[in-house]
A and B are shown apart, each in its own frame.
Chain A
Amino acid sequence: MGLDTTRYEARRRIRGSVALTSILAAFAVLVVYLYPSIAESSADIDALIQAFPESVRQGLGIEAYSSIEGFVAAELYQFLWILLLGLYMAYTAGGAFAGDIESKRLYLVLATPISRARLLVEKTLALLTPLVVLNLVLPLVVFGTTILIDYPIDPAYLLAVHAVSIPYHLVCLGIGQVLSIAFSRGNTAQLGGIAIIFLLFLLDSVTAGTDYEWLGRVSPTRYVDPTEVLLEETIRIGDAVFLLAVALLLLFASLLVFQSRDV
């Protein structure tokens, strides 16, 4: 018995993943194409950015638009990649089990000789489908487009942004997954996942630069910063490892809940 469940479920997710990737890639091309007109405009946008409150700059990751790295980091990665894709991962994971439990679809699979632990792990792996497709396609699209506009971005740090954001997305997935298994209603788990990720993001943003900055440490967004990687070329391996550990912990927690509950 190979990864039969993973393959079966991943195949169902492939269309959605390709669609999502197409939309994000189109958006990425659009954003990068806008860059030359901003770079070549006479307005001192960076001075304007510096006048923003600290929390806005940190929360949105806007540091400098005078370089392609700063622009792409803020416009594409902070918002679309970290916030929106984070919400998407939590939402998708939220539906994965709760929906199957609610509709009783899980019964047919659980009646076969597959253990609950294996089923959970295989279904989780299938949830990675959009993440895999996006991480394969998007760096190529972004890099290719920056070459076309003659503002090439450093491919090493571009890949690094993708690499360090994978653990972050896994944490988002894990949060959705725990909710999905704890609640038997698909909607509750999906909306709960979105709410939690968004509130944590807000918490991180509004406390940035204040005396309560430590509060933001509970938010996974605190441990991933595309602007820092692309603009300052700083990669915090420790933060990525920490997020990975949290993701595994969440997987383990969902496993414990799934093993002990009535489905």
Chain B
Amino acid sequence: MAAIEVSGLTKRYGDVVANEDLTFDVREGEIFGYLGPNGSGKSTTIRQLLGFHAPTEGTATVLGADVRDEAALQSVKDRIGFLPGEPAFDGSVTGAEFLDYHARLKGDPRREELLGLFTPPLDRKIREYSTGNKQMLGIVQAFMHDPDLVVMDEPTSGLDPLKQEAFNRFLRGERDDGKTVFFSSHVLGEVRRVCDRVGIIRQGRLITVENVEELLQRGGKRIRVHTDTPLRAADLDLDGIVEFETEGREVQFTFTGDYDVLFDELTTHHVIDVEIEEPPIEEVFLHFYGDEYGT
């Protein structure tokens, strides 16, 4: 059974279509990245999955419960962890008081373990917290009741790079223990590091769902070749070469074609040095988003 099944999910706010006919599923035990630029409708989907907003059309099930059925959804919520984007807390309580309250609502068997990894200053009032500390407190409350499914909206925003890496490592461990993770992000690099599959949403519509490896394959490789005599674009007239740039005797391009063909071609030139690396992940994004990327 899929942990989350979204079918024909549509949400309109007046004339604005925030989600349009979304259909995808999140399998049990996978980390699913929900990727899209800001304002593409990621949070809207998440709000519907948790029953905060009602779908205009279509529906979704979460752990088997229909999101339109409050009672059904409520009955599985002790198995769901949730981290909102830029989580908002009541600033007048301390982190410990907040966690105590949430522990009474849903339990906290893993609280101490999580507080070993994520370290918000529990004795201080939340209004004194930095963005990163709020995010860590949010992460602790999302996982402390040991849920089967965790839904997170931009979970690493506000975390410093070290904490981000710790968080990614933690997520992979959780996945290996059988937990399902659904998280949204607008940073492809982060999705690439932890996700098994990725759904890409743009302007409320789902562009594609695929495995991360396929996504990267489609993005190709970044290739840099240093030759004895400068190469021109016409010298390498192959399928799958894009963004060809020349800098002195070095050329650089993204290659999505057949490597044999490329190497055959390169042997006809005197190659001094060659580098093959993963493309900047934003470039992969560009292939899906085209010119409107980031708008």
Interface residues of A (CB under 8 A from B): 1-2, 4-5, 8, 12, 103-105, 107-116, 259, 262-263
Contact = CB atoms under 8 A, between A and B. Distances in A.
Contacts of A263: 52-53
Interface stretch (B84-92, B178-186, B210-218, B224-232): B84-92
B253 interface: no
Nearest to A101: B52
B266 interface: no
B78 interface: yes
Given A111-B84, A115-B70, 17 more contacts: A5-B105, A8-B97, A104-B86, A105-B88, A107-B50, A107-B87, A108-B82, A108-B88, A108-B102, A108-B138, A111-B50, A111-B81, A112-B106, A113-B75, A113-B77, A115-B71, A262-B52
Contacts of B78: 112-113
Contact of A103 (B71, B81, B88): B88
A30 B104 CA distance: 44
B88 A109 contact: no
A262 B50 contact: no
A108 B87 contact: yes
Interface string B84-117: 1011111011000100011011100000000000
Contacts, number: 69
23 contacts: A2-B104, A8-B93, A12-B90, A12-B92, A12-B93, A104-B84, A104-B88, A105-B88, A105-B89, A105-B90, A107-B52, A107-B82, A107-B84, A107-B88, A108-B88, A108-B138, A110-B50, A111-B81, A112-B78, A114-B74, A115-B71, A259-B70, A262-B52
Contacts of A116: 70
Contacts of B40: none
A262 B50 CA distance: 11
B141 interface: yes
B279 interface: no
B96 to A, nearest CB: 13
B77 A111 contact: yes
A110 B47 CA distance: 11
Given A107-B88, A111-B77, A113-B74, A1 B82 contact: no
Interface string B168-195: 0000000000000000000000000000
Given A108-B141, A263-B52, A114 B105 contact: yes
A114 B141 CA distance: 15
A1 B88 contact: no
- The 9 A-B residue pairs with the shortest CB-CB distance, nearest first, are A111-B82, A262-B53, A112-B105, A113-B77, A4-B104, A8-B101, A105-B88, A113-B78, A107-B84
